[in-house]
Amino acid sequence: MADRGREMKRMMLHKATRIVFALALCSLIGSSLSIAAEFSADFVVQTPDEEDMTGKIFVKGDKVRHEMKAEGEEQTMIVRPDKGVTWMIMTEEKMYMEIPYQSDNQAFEEWTAEKESKAKLVGEETVSGIQCKKYESDEDGEKTYFWVSKKYPFPLKVQDSASTLEYKNIKEDKIPDSQFELPAGLKKMPMSPMAEDE
């Protein structure tokens, strides 16, 4: 029984790791959006030799909810800087993990005048039906491309040698506060996958 419990926790941790990986890709280097924002959008993350990660993001100020589909399973992450926590939810298992909030757990990177001054304009393209300027940033030989519109203060698409992230169907809607709360009826999962069942 204990072995089966440990194996389940290892599986849960693997799924949680996939959530963290997806969030890291969505964080785009991870600085916070300094202006008030309230919107939802679809997103897709493409990485070589990996199944695409698709999902939705909901943003209300500094609160963020990611709903992702990875490896055929739905997973959710809720980022709550005001509470100092990030919740990773395994929906099918009705379990969640709670980790301390880190400042690099933000949803996206704001495109600032400073960033633009350090990037090179390489053209214009349409992303998700929105006209964007395409910028190239080169840091230590690693090139990253950003597609930036006048309408939104964050890149609609980001591409580097490892992955591509694109936001689609952006809607500036009012989002209920309940979207950023931990659902009832979930069992908290220990951070250590080797912990014995309580």
Per-residue model confidence as pLDDT tens digits over 5-53:
455 445 444 455 455 545 544 544 333 444 457 889 999 888 888 888 8
Q: Which two tokens stand for residue 195?
A: 């912990």
Confidence of residue 103 (pLDDT cuts 50, 70, 90): low
Q: Torsion angle of alpha carbons 27, 31, 32, 37, nearest 10°?
A: -60
For 76, the 3-state DSSP assignment is: strand
Report residue 27 as tokens. 């964080």
- What's residue 36's pLDDT? 55
Question: Exposed, middle or buried by CB within 10 Å (0-12, 13-18, 19+), for 88?
Answer: buried
Q: Tell me what the pLDDT averaged over the chain comes to.
A: 78
The whole-angstrom separation of Cα 184 and Cα 172 is 28
So where are the chain's domains? 2-108+166-188
By percentage, how much of the chain surpasses pLDDT 90?
Answer: 32
Token pair recorded at residue 92: 């099918």
> Are residues 78 and 64 in contact, defined by beta-carbon separation less than 8 angstroms?
yes
CA distances from 121 to 37, 44, 165 (A): 26, 24, 19
CB-CB contact of 74 with 54 (8 Å): no
d(CA 188, CA 181): 14
Sequence-distant (≥ 6) Cβ neighbours of residue 102 within 8 angstroms: 86
pLDDT exceeds cutoff 80 at 195: no
Q: Quick check: 80 and 178 in contact, CB under 8 A?
A: no
